[in-house]
Chains A and B, each alone.
Chain A
Amino acid sequence: MSKMRGAAAIVGIGQTPYYKRGTSPEPELKLAIRAITQAADDAGIDVRDIDGFVSYASERSDPAKLMPALGTRECSFASLVWFHGGGLPATLNIASQAIMTGQADIVAVYRSMAEGSNQRLRVIVAQDDTSSQYLVNGLDSPAQILALRAQRLMEYHGVPQSALYATVRASYYHASNNPNAYGRTVTMNDEVYEHARMISEPYRLFDCSRENDGAACILVVSAERAKDLKQKPAYILSAPMGTMEGGGALEENWRPYYATAGQTELAERLWRESGYGPKDVDVAQIYMNMNSMGIGAMIDHGFFAMEEAGAFCTFENLTAPSGKLPINTSGGDLGEGFIHGMGLIPEAVRQIRGASTNQVPGAKLSLVTGGPGDLMSSTALLGAAETL
């Protein structure tokens, strides 16, 4: 157990609609302001009192630009977590630490993206740190690079296509019940999935996350302050970040892990710090830049072994309300929309509140995993008051 366990809680969530990429009627800074003000309203907090700002990866709506519009009285803490979607749950680690050490009282964790007219979202996401070894050899997109890992996971380790399809079907089923999901009207069945165009083998179109414009925000305060606010708090039980020896900027030379998510040791820390294990988790928001990587994340978290992936990953097991491990209950990165994974934390919180459109009855332990296979990643477990 760690000192961080339950020290802070998520008390507000705010989300703009998901727009088709490049079609947001508003620039990303304005989307960020909308998400943050909504989160403050949701929590019953005066938006001017937010004094901490945390984001990750290549976020460009920095606090300096936000403050004048939010009426911020004092920004006493601001930080960006390194790397790409791997940094998502780690924002909760940074926010908790800032609160525990008195550096800030109310921390906004947010991400905003609206594709400019000249840069594709996936190029922004890559942050221009793709090395010559990839680009010279025709590899640009995370979809291609992660396809290399998927090929290994499937051909060498034997994870079947049916496991990938189950995550797609579950995601779109959940999206169909979520009025805010961008993919809510997509019909998903065997035929649609199998006939979708190939992107980079073995990935078909629907194995890949969406690309959307939008913004999302959650507010973190101390456990003590959380008790007196409007919403049922979602306590941050653990949110470890990191990379082990053998991982990092190694250009497909990761060892010993390659085909999964690089989250084995992170998950071990998560269970140790929180005092819970994979069997205790009620619902999980699994980051799926690409779905095989999300399967890798579930393997790394100990939900099933590599050879059990086919048996575990079925539509029935992965869907709310009664699956063994309902995942991506808002539709997730595949079905709801993708703003660098930031939609996952609000949904993890809604599950604790009992407010998801695909609610797992009585959900008390809610997991959210970070960008799998990222150079550095993170994961987080949220809990209701009873789990403290």
Chain B
Amino acid sequence: MAYSFEQHKISGAIGADDQFWRALEDGTFQLSRCSSCRNWTWPAHFRCGKCGSWEFEWVTLEPKGNVFTYTRSRYAFDRVLERKDDVPYVTIVAEIPEAGNVRVMGVMKGDEAGLKIGARVKGSIEPPSPKTKNYPSIRWELDL
């Protein structure tokens, strides 16, 4: 099966996170961990800087975390114009305690009352759409 994101590949950055997107498109939330020293490696990379291993395992996790920080975009920016009708929208950076507190970004879903640093969030997975540049995405929702 051809994945949507693979046909709309965004270049730039490290580029070792294909499995993250593949898993999301398949409906699961996975993050990467070194197979040897089990250090959570996020963003995903090609070699573990802690122990030198080249092997990683992708671990399926329950998408649960805490708000590390966030911003409410109040302007339709050039390269994310697909979201212009959604302005203002909130993007959350969530810490994932089950994965060594690595931080994963996602657009907020649901009621914004109670949004603050430290608030608990749960994630839900959405299929690829033009708004997400034909990538699957994780959305964070307050879990009060």
Question: Bound complex: CA of A30 vs CA of B13, how far in Å?
Answer: 32
Are A138 and B103 in contact (CB-based, < 8 A)? no
Question: Which residues of A in the span 243-259 have a Cβ within 8 Å of any Cβ on B?
Answer: 249-253, 258
Are B13 and A139 in contact (CB-based, < 8 A)? no
Are A253 and B10 in contact (CB-based, < 8 A)? no
- Interface flag for B69 (CB, 8 Å): yes
- Choose from B73, B105, B117 the contact partner of A251 (Cβ within 8 Å): B105
Are B77 and A141 in contact (CB-based, < 8 A)? yes
A137, A250, A251, A253 pick with most chain B CB within 10 angstroms: A137
- Interface flag for B133 (CB, 8 Å): yes
Question: Which residues of A in the span 200-250 have a Cβ within 8 Å of any Cβ on B?
Answer: 200-202, 249-250
- Interface flag for B42 (CB, 8 Å): yes
Are B69 and A149 in contact (CB-based, < 8 A)? yes
Question: Which residues of A in the span 114-154 have a Cβ within 8 Å of any Cβ on B?
Answer: 120, 122-123, 128-141, 143-144, 147-152
- Interface flag for A198 (CB, 8 Å): yes
- Interface flag for B14 (CB, 8 Å): yes
Nearest chain-A residue to B105 (Cβ)? Answer: A137
If the complex has contacts A135-B133, A156-B117, are A251 and B13 also in contact, measured as CB distance less than 8 A? Answer: yes
Total interface residues in chain B, CB < 8 Å: 40
- Interface flag for A199 (CB, 8 Å): yes
Are B75 and A199 in contact (CB-based, < 8 A)? yes
If the complex has contacts A140-B77, A199-B74, are A133 and B11 also in contact, measured as CB distance less than 8 A? Answer: no
- Interface flag for A197 (CB, 8 Å): yes
> Which chain B positions have C-beta within 8 A of A200?
71-75
- Interface flag for A191 (CB, 8 Å): no
| Distance from B41 Cβ to chain A, minimum over Cβ atoms (Å) | 10
- Choose from A120, A133, A148 the contact partner of B69 (Cβ within 8 Å): A148
- Interface flag for A155 (CB, 8 Å): yes
B39-81 Cβ-contact flags toward A at 8 Å (1 or 0): 0001100000000000000000000000011111111011110
Are B91 and A144 in contact (CB-based, < 8 A)? yes
Interface of B is mostly: mixed
Are B137 and A130 in contact (CB-based, < 8 A)? no
| Distance from B42 Cβ to chain A, minimum over Cβ atoms (Å) | 6
| Distance from A281 Cβ to chain B, minimum over Cβ atoms (Å) | 30
> Which chain B positions have C-beta within 8 A of A140?
77-80
**30 A–B contacts, CB within 8 A, in A order:** A123-B79, A128-B12, A132-B21, A132-B135, A133-B43, A134-B105, A135-B79, A135-B80, A136-B10, A136-B137, A137-B91, A138-B86, A139-B91, A140-B79, A143-B77, A148-B91, A149-B69, A151-B117, A152-B69, A155-B116, A156-B69, A197-B74, A198-B72, A198-B88, A199-B75, A200-B71, A200-B74, A201-B74, A249-B13, A249-B43
By a beta-carbon cutoff of 8 Å, the part of chain B in contact with chain A is 5, 10-14, 17, 21, 42-43, 68-75, 77-80, 83, 86, 88-89, 91, 93, 102-107, 116-117, 132-133, 135, 137
**Additional 12 contacts, C-beta under 8 A, given A132-B5, A139-B91, A141-B78:** A129-B12, A133-B43, A136-B132, A137-B91, A138-B73, A138-B80, A156-B69, A197-B75, A198-B72, A200-B73, A201-B72, A253-B102
By a beta-carbon cutoff of 8 Å, the part of chain A in contact with chain B is 120, 122-123, 128-141, 143-144, 147-152, 155-156, 197-202, 249-253, 258
